[in-house]
Amino acid sequence: METISTYEAESLLPRVINMIIQCHGSKNKITASQIVTELLEVHGITANEARIRKVINFLRTTDRIKCLVATSTGYYIAETKEDVEEYIQSLKSREEAIKETRESIERQYHSAFSHNQQFQIPKLF
């Protein structure tokens, strides 16, 4: 489970929650960039998009905001079962792609470092 720092819990979390809970339905999305901008302009708080994604992941994995989904165009609280199902399928596809990448890198690692040899820059083709 994702953990967040005291700063994130006290400064970012309540403000991000207040922004996200206004985003019901796929027509009312907010991007990480918009959250960063609002934090700075309205609250004088500096944050980057990676930190916002971390806070949003915390909200999801701790069930603080239920059915908080994302698309390439932003975050929102799903209002339909179809939106949640599509998001779950998107996550499953991403999981599979990450697994394939990990398995490829493991295979390459074992090939490159077999017999305790020094790493050699591999031939590209």
Q: What percent of the chain has pLDDT over 90?
A: 83
Distance, C-alpha 117 to centroid of its chain: 37
41: number of Cβ within 10 Å: 9
Instruction: Quote the pLDDT of residue 80.
Output: 97
Q: Is the pTM of this model over 0.75?
A: yes
pLDDT-based confidence at 28, cuts 50/70/90? very high
Higher-confidence residue of 122 and 40: namely: 40
Counting Cβ atoms within 10 Å, is residue 8 exposed (0-12), middle (13-18) or buried (19+)? middle
Query: What is the C-alpha to C-alpha distance for residues 30 and 19, in angstroms, rounded to an integer?
Result: 8
Query: What is the C-alpha to C-alpha distance for residues 25 and 114, in angstroms, rounded to an integer?
Result: 52
